[in-house]
Structure 1
Amino acid sequence: MEKKTESFSERLTSIRAKIQQVASQQLEYGRIPPQAVDIEEAVLGAIMLEKDALTEVVDFLHADVFYREEHKIIFNAILNLYNNTKPIDILTVTNELRSEGKLEAVGGAFYISELTNRVGSSANIEYHSRILVEKFLLRELIRISTQVQVMAYDDQTDVFDLLDQTEREIFNISQGNLKGSYLPMSTLITKSIEEIENISKNREKTGTSGVPSGFIELDKITLGWQKSDLIIIASRPGMGKTSFVLSMARNAAVDFEKSVAIFSLEMSATQLVNRLISAEAEIRSEKLRSGDLAEHEWEQLHAKISKLANAKIFIDDTPGINVFELRAKCRRMKSQYGIDMVIIDYLQLMNSHIDNRKNVNREQEISSISRALKAMAKDLDVPVIALSQLSREVEKRSGTKKPMLSDLRESGSIEQDADQVLFIYRPEYYKIYEDDDHLPTKGVAEINLAKNRHGQVRDAIRLRFIDSFAKFSDLDYNLGLPQNGTFVLPSKANHDLPDQEDEDEPPMPF
């Protein structure tokens, strides 16, 4: 009977044991990891000498930076005092270590006092601390490269898993994302308070706590697209999925100066840019394709696209991109351009690196892709928006054609993995010219928030859809609803409004 194949985690545990053997062999040949113990002593001594020294380095210095275990323990004791707003000096650090039962483990009170004799002042503490960080980064690179070397020689190692893990760890180092597998509650509470304060400041500027969509009613509910969230936007063909996310990308990049990465698996980068130009300059796309523009349209084109030209929108139109390539490109863009949001058009056109394995159906592959996208959102700490198709069951439904969660095509675990699911529905497309509230539907799109992990769901967020420009925008009037006591009705003089027949005008409320 064949031996059962080890899981990836079990192999990783075995490989780590081999890494320890390789490391011990290096020590036998006289090679020790990069370190600066004397500078570690000077940094700890400086922190205990002057009360403001720690504030200069606390944002990038952490316990793992120290090479000696004793110094890690001492620095953690200092951080405990700092987090509890207690003074930091020889006596308080000694008492803190004594209360933790770790004083003798670090060398006793005598060693703590000796540390302050290693340095005269804290004048160079930032420079010294950065040296320690550099030594730590070198040790981490050695660890990663050793791990890669050992795993590469293992016949059971999946090359894509190895590449992804290696790139993720190096990316984490470059981003300073060097956290352990767990954090104490005191640290998490502090981080949460800081995040709440940052959200409060951001809301004063944009009215949202995340990346704004630029649509007022939608942002009121979602407060913007939140970091680490996976958002699924789905509809049947012809509803305007791509136009919707392009409008959002334009709003985020132009109006709120966010960096947006768009991965288009269906349309070329040039086609997407032409759509953006058509929507921004409000010139029909067929005129842009033919180049048949009047003189005033050329002037309009050049006048309106300057903002778009300076927008931080990055488009990748690699066809059939797989999850591994997507993650690699997003990490590079996060490092180089600090992207704030990722958009994928669309999910069903992606490939998973499991597609060469036997007995894997399309639903399992889509499930693998959705889980990977959620993991990528957490890894990069940005919202990831993925477009998705809906099944034909919507068309077979009698009466209203509003989508439901069960309509997600090849859904797998899409609904489970997503933090939010939105559907785009245009009744006009199905020749439904009046909704349940007897409001006209011509030129109107409904955004249905069917799942919202952070709060309420919403059945119909009404937006204007300008088909000729493939553009979504806010309705600047409430059909039949009062604004500040006054009923506001659409005007034919508004050039942004689609042509409407008289029978499509909202009825007077009196």
Structure 2
Amino acid sequence: METNVFEFDRESLEAEKGIIASIFYYFSEISEIIDIDSILLDNFITLPAKRIFNTLKTTKLVNGSYDPIIVLDSLKSSCLNDQELNDCTNYLESLPRNIQYFSILKYLNLLQEQKVKRKLDNLSRRILRTSLNSENFNDQISTWKNTFEKIISQNVGVNYIDSKEAISNFQKQANEAASTSRVNFLKTNYSEIDRRIKALSGGQLVIVASRPGVGKTTFSINLICNNLRNIEKGCGNSKESAIGIFSLEMTNSSLLEKLIAIDSGLALNEVQKKLEGAPLGAVERALIDESQDKISKCNLLFSDESNITLGKITAIIKTWAKIYDLKFVIIDYLQLINVPEERNSNMNQYQKIGIISRTLKILSMELNTCIISLAQLNRKSEERKGSDKVPILSDLRESGSIEQDADIVMFIYEDKKEDEGSFPKTILKIAKNRHGPTGNVEFQFDKSKGLYKLAN
């Protein structure tokens, strides 16, 4: 018996249309995201959507996309009567053309959840209608239990490989690395850091934390600057390498000023003169222009929305990963990310941070990219005295979940005892390294230029 369409909320019906529209208008694009044959017919709600989905699966593509005339002819053959054909035609005409096809997995998950809720609701109705007695009690309980477990198990994807396939995948990656000059993972290009963490590998969540004003944002921009040559446009690969950065505190222009200063070797206030309309020397102008040209030829992706939500960050990163070979993404900074009101109304800050850090870790693994999230340290380290002022993992604000989810945790702090030369020693402490050693790395941080250099 067909479920009444009016029992479903608007969001579910729009998700259903989103799936059909994505397949109909963007088949080639979504084929890289999901295997169409893996989509189950019973996930769909309305009869027109089910009929159209079945038709699309059996209709031949023309130059990698669907021809509306051919689809309509196929529907005429598969529909049982004129009313059904008319419903399908109206449904097709109502499909949004500007659909966010890269969100098809989100649409599918929503419909999958609705399907499970629907089946559980039907089971509960059957239970309420059943009269129990001493003769049928045990049999009915067993039947309901088995039905319940079957419904729940259908919502859990069985995802595993055996050792043979695991070794095959490992060897395939090794062969690709040996046969191409393409860089799989980027490094920090600071030898003392790379010696410990090897690379900014895909699937890793890296936390870089400090107290305000110490230089964590500037350090992250140095990581970008150190890798500009690896993300140049026109590399000839099917997907060009890219780096993304979310700045929740600073505008794109301010980030670019810092990046140009680091790349050109000029003081930041010299670079800022260009936007201020202040006079610049010929040498300084030439260096700035050279850096601008260099950066413009790179796949460097910016987002400076200050009030951005976790969901929007996730959607943007997935979009970037669809278009580019996304090497790493920087988020500045973790505690500023918003969790939607409907999710956070009854949560404390610790729980919110837990959702954010876990989501970022899962996203890094799903997309096989490195996510570098900057984070704020609490005041505890500043309140301690002597060597006890060195940051520890518990100094991370709402630290429990961040500690657990992060593969690498780095702290940046100033060594006041060494503040004797032109530049104070800045220490980068690798406090956690899931796949290697921890330890300290000493830097000289030229604050006027924003330049981090290893201390000799």
Q: When the two structures are superposed, what TM-score results if normalisation uses the length of structure 2?
A: 0.63
Q: Which residue of 2 aligns with 1:57?
A: none
Whole-angstrom distance in 1 between the partners of 2:289 and 2:50: 69
Query: What does residue range 124-163 of structure 1 map to in structure 2 within 5 Å?
Result: 148=111, 151=114
Query: What does residue range 218-229 of structure 1 map to in structure 2 within 5 Å?
Result: 218-229=193-204
When Rg is computed on C-alpha atoms for both structures, the one with the higher figure is: 1
Q: Which residue of 2 aligns with 1:473?
A: 453
Q: Which residue of 1 aligns with 2:42?
A: 20
Deviation at 1:22, TM superposition (A): 5.9
The one of 307, 324, 338 aligned to 1:320: 307
* 1:433 aligned onto 2:433: no
Whole-angstrom distance in 2 between the partners of 1:34 and 1:418: 43
Q: Secondary structure at the match of 1:472?
A: strand
Change (3 A) 1:364 1:441: farther
Deviation at 1:334, TM superposition (A): 1.0
Whole-angstrom distance in 2 between the partners of 1:463 and 1:30: 61
Deviations 1:214-259 (A, max 9, x none): 2121112111111110000001122210110001012123356541
Q: Which residue of 2 aligns with 1:377?
A: 364
Q: Which residue of 1 aligns with 2:381?
A: 394
The one of 432, 449, 454 aligned to 1:451: 432
Q: Secondary structure at the match of 2:226?
A: helix
Q: Which residue of 1 aligns with 2:67?
A: none
- Give the conservation status (yes or no) of the 8 Å contact 1:263–1:345: yes
Q: Which residue of 2 aligns with 1:260?
A: 243
* 1:352 aligned onto 2:339: yes
The one of 164, 169, 172 aligned to 1:186: 164
Counterpart of 2:317 in structure 1: which amino acid? C
Corresponding residue pairs, total: 327
Deviation at 1:424, TM superposition (A): 0.8
* 1:211 aligned onto 2:211: no
Deviation at 1:303, TM superposition (A): 3.3
- Give the conservation status (yes or no) of the 8 Å contact 2:201–2:370: yes
Q: Secondary structure at the match of 1:329?
A: helix
- Give the conservation status (yes or no) of the 8 Å contact 1:355–1:365: no
Counterpart of 1:218 in structure 2: which amino acid? I
Q: Which residue of 2 aligns with 1:297?
A: 284
Q: Which residue of 2 aligns with 1:72?
A: none
Q: Which residue of 2 aligns with 1:239?
A: 214
Deviation at 1:269, TM superposition (A): 0.6
Change (3 A) 1:382 1:30: closer
Deviation at 1:443, TM superposition (A): 4.2
- Give the conservation status (yes or no) of the 8 Å contact 2:418–2:425: no
- Give the conservation status (yes or no) of the 8 Å contact 1:236–1:389: yes
Counterpart of 2:285 in structure 1: which amino acid? W
* 1:336 aligned onto 2:323: yes
Whole-angstrom distance in 2 between the partners of 1:444 and 1:146: 50
- The CA RMSD measured in Å over matched residues stands at 3.8
Q: Which residue of 2 aligns with 1:278?
A: 261
Change (3 A) 1:152 1:342: farther
Whole-angstrom distance in 2 between the partners of 1:189 and 1:33: 39
Q: When the two structures are superposed, what TM-score results if normalisation uses the length of structure 1?
A: 0.57
Whole-angstrom distance in 2 between the partners of 1:142 and 1:243: 35
Deviation at 1:305, TM superposition (A): 3.7
Whole-angstrom distance in 1 between the partners of 2:112 and 2:204: 34
Deviations 1:402-431 (A, max 9, x none): 21111101224000000000011221xx46
Where does the alignment leave 5 or more consecutive residues of structure 1 unmatched? 1-10, 39-140, 156-178, 435-439, 479-510
Change (3 A) 1:354 1:416: farther
**More displaced stretch, 228-237 vs 397-406:** 397-406
Whole-angstrom distance in 1 between the partners of 2:447 and 2:53: 68
Q: Which residue of 2 aligns with 1:411?
A: 399
Whole-angstrom distance in 2 between the partners of 1:330 and 1:420: 20
Identical aligned residues as a percent: 29
Q: Secondary structure at the match of 2:294?
A: helix
- Give the conservation status (yes or no) of the 8 Å contact 1:254–1:308: no
Deviation at 1:324, TM superposition (A): 0.5
Counterpart of 1:416 in structure 2: which amino acid? Q
Counterpart of 1:186 in structure 2: which amino acid? K
Whole-angstrom distance in 1 between the partners of 2:448 and 2:392: 28
Q: Secondary structure at the match of 2:436?
A: coil
The one of 288, 294, 314 aligned to 1:307: 294
Deviation at 1:450, TM superposition (A): 0.5
Deviation at 1:25, TM superposition (A): 6.5
- Structure with more contact order per residue of length (Cα contacts < 8 Å, sep ≥ 6): 2
Q: Secondary structure at the match of 2:185?
A: coil
Q: Secondary structure at the match of 1:319?
A: coil
